[in-house]
Amino acid sequence: MNRIFLDTNILLDVTMHREAFLADSARIWSDCETGKTVGLISAISLNNIHCIMRKRLPSASALDCIRCILNIFTIVPLDTPILRMAVDFPQKDFEDAIQIFSALQAKADCIVTRDGSHFSSDYLPVLTPAEYRGLRA
């Protein structure tokens, strides 16, 4: 799997140093940073990450994290077709629907998330960070 779509929680694990999840998420981040895999993220993840981070850090620090993410990951643009598919998708969470259709638009091989119950594997394989890491071993 060379093109993986990362849910926002994987990026937050690393940027917020969430100790319980850091090891697996940091390994995925590293694989993307070194070019072992292409890490894809939705444009919506950037504003969500900034919003969460600026509650705990100064805005400048949160923006530095966003700059870092922009240098490592491929951003899937949020456009009208993705939003139309997401709004019509029979799923409770609009943001998760955006993530699914962004991953499909980018031709990702899988979605990596810690919230697997939020995503249907009818469209793409949905893996936890540990499952993805096991495939890369």
CATH number, domain with residue 39:
3.40.50.1010
pTM for the model? 0.93
Query: Quick one: pLDDT at residue 136?
Result: 64
Query: Quick one: pLDDT at residue 3?
Result: 96
Q: How many domains does the chain have?
A: 1
Range of the domain at 40: 3-136
The average confidence (pLDDT) of the chain is 92
Quote the CA–CA distance of 137 and 133 in Å, as a whole number: 6
pLDDT greater than 60 at residue 137? no
- Number of Cβ within 10 Å of residue 102's Cβ equals 26
Cβ-in-10-Å burial (0-12, 13-18, 19+) of 58 comes to exposed
Percent of the chain with pLDDT over 70: 98
Residue type, 3: R
Query: Quick one: pLDDT at residue 134?
Result: 74
Q: Which tens digits make up the pLDDT trace of 81-97? A: 999 999 999 877 899 99
